[in-house]
């Protein structure tokens, strides 16, 4: 019996090359390279044609060879504080999608709000010479980040935070103060005056800005602020639904003044608060309106649907990635602080104060 050499019989797979992409797209090889790396202008029409061919061929750029030529690793470090929070997941997806299109790989580092863990990640990322870093909110070691920015060639972008130490690092965020002021005024217009405020620690400037927006809404409408209704967590924690439940439950059990509305600084806190309110025998929104912040996907599916501030999470991620790629390619970024529009989404968790 004649034996067949399977290795010779099998047709060897040859991965598509940049030349294959150029030929099918009807452009020069250099044009394909420019489209992928943003190293020179390529028209929208030509770029769309190139990326369509790339998708059809399932072409994968040779990042190792390209890195050796350009002294790059094509690696991006993404630092987030809570991988279980859909807020961070949505932004991260936007970042990863754009980076994949540009031939970068994203190294995701979840810190659980632990600065020591963050330092370990950053030390490793700098050792492997990542081309850039994106930090999504949370508390960071600002001195360490400043040192990385000043002493290394690593480009840095902040997402959804206020830059309190270096105006040269780009930020993609919303106007947190105005967003919370809009929400507070919305409740005041519905007749609410006793509005409780549940917040994560104000050590983060974005949360200080939100608290200031809450207070400013009261000042501008001439209503006195009741500080006993302001509840601020002391430590950043990952299980926000549980914390929202515990804070609200303890507050309603101890407070002599029962509010007609509760504002929270995240949708997850609001979800926990609603459970506690119901367990205490109150109805949402008939007895107590509740609002969140972020507009994660769950916000529109819980019952009642959650009134919240919508942050454009996917867009924030995409823009963060785009700005970082520009910096890596040596292109100037004129706008260092990009403020995106927020939106107040009114759902069934809020209503006008009932006359008793």
Structure tokens at 71: 């002294």
CA distance 90 to 317: 8
Q: From first to last of its 356 residues, what are the pLDDT tens digits of the chain?
A: 444 455 544 455 678 888 999 999 999 999 988 888 777 889 989 999 999 999 888 887 765 455 545 567 899 999 999 999 999 999 999 999 999 999 899 999 999 988 899 889 998 998 888 999 999 976 666 777 777 777 777 899 999 876 555 668 899 999 999 999 999 999 999 999 999 999 998 888 899 999 999 999 999 999 999 999 999 998 877 789 999 999 999 999 999 999 999 999 999 999 999 999 999 999 999 999 999 999 999 999 999 999 999 999 999 999 999 999 999 998 888 888 899 999 999 999 999 998 76
Asked if residue 350 lies in contact with residue 261, where contact means CB atoms within 8 angstroms, the answer is yes
What are the CA-CA distances from residue 159 to residues 7, 90, 91, 128, 241 (Å)? 50, 12, 9, 23, 23
| Domains of the chain, each with CATH number or no CATH | 74-174+313-340 (3.40.50.2300), 176-312 (3.40.50.2300)
Q: What backbone phi and psi angles, to 5 degrees, belong to 135?
A: -105, 125
Structure tokens at 356: 């008793």
CA distance 94 to 91: 5
Give the CA angle between residues 301, 306, 307 to the nearest 5°: 140
* DSSP structure string for 261-327: EEEESSHHHHHHHHHHHHHTT--TTTT-EEE-SB--GGGGTSSSPPBEEEP-HHHHHHHHHHHHHHH
Strand duo 171-174 + 337-340: pairing: parallel
Structure tokens at 179: 């967003």
> Environment class of residue 141 by beta-carbon count within 10 Å: exposed (0-12), middle (13-18) or buried (19+)?
middle
User: Nearest Cα to 117, choosing from 93, 144, 150?
Assistant: 144
Asked if residue 88 lies in contact with residue 294, where contact means CB atoms within 8 angstroms, the answer is no
**Prediction pTM value:** 0.79
CA distance 135 to 162: 11
Which strand ranges, in their side-by-side order, compose the sheet holding 105-110?
105-110, 75-80, 132-136, 155-159, 171-174, 337-340
């Amino acid at each position: 019996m004649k034996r067949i050499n399977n290795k010779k019989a099998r047709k060897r797979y040859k991965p598509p090359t940049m030349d294959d992409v150029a030929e099918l797209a009807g452009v020069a090889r250099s044009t394909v390279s420019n489209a992928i790396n943003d190293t020179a202008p390529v028209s929208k029409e030509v770029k769309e044609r190139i990326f369509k061919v790339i998708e059809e061929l399932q072409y994968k750029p040779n990042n190792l060879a390209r890195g050796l030529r350009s002294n790059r690793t094509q690696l991006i470090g993404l630092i987030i504080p809570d991988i279980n929070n859909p807020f961070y997941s949505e932004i991260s997806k936007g970042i990863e999608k754009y980076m994949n299109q540009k031939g970068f790989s994203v190294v995701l580092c979840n810190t659980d709000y632990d600065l020591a863990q963050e330092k370990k990640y950053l030390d490793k990322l700098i050792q492997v010479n990542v081309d850039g870093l994106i930090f999504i909110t949370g508390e960071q070691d600002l001195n360490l980040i400043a040192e990385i920015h000043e002493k290394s060639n690593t480009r840095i972008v902040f997402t959804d935070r206020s830059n309190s130490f270096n105006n040269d690092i780009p930020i993609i965020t919303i106007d947190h103060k105005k967003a919370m002021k809009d929400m507070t005024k919305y409740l005041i217009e519905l007749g609410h005056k006793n509005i409780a405020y549940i917040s994560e620690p104000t050590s983060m400037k974005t949360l200080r800005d939100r608290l200031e927006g809450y207070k400013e809404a009261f000042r501008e409408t001439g209503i006195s602020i009741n500080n006993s209704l302001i509840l601020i967590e002391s430590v950043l924690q990952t299980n926000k639904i549980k914390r929202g439940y515990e804070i609200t439950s303890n507050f309603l059990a101890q407070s002599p003044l029962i509010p007609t509305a509760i504002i929270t600084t995240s949708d997850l806190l609001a979800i926990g608060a609603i459970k506690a309110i119901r367990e205490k025998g109150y109805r949402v929104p008939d007895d107590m309106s509740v609002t969140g912040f972020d507009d994660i996907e769950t916000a529109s599916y819980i019952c009642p649907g959650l009134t919240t501030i919508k942050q454009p999470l996917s867009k924030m991620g995409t823009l963060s990635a785009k700005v970082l790629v520009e910096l890596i390619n040596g292109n100037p970024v004129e706008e260092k602080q990009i403020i995106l529009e927020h939106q107040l989404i009114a759902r069934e968790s809020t209503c006008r104060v009932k006359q008793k």
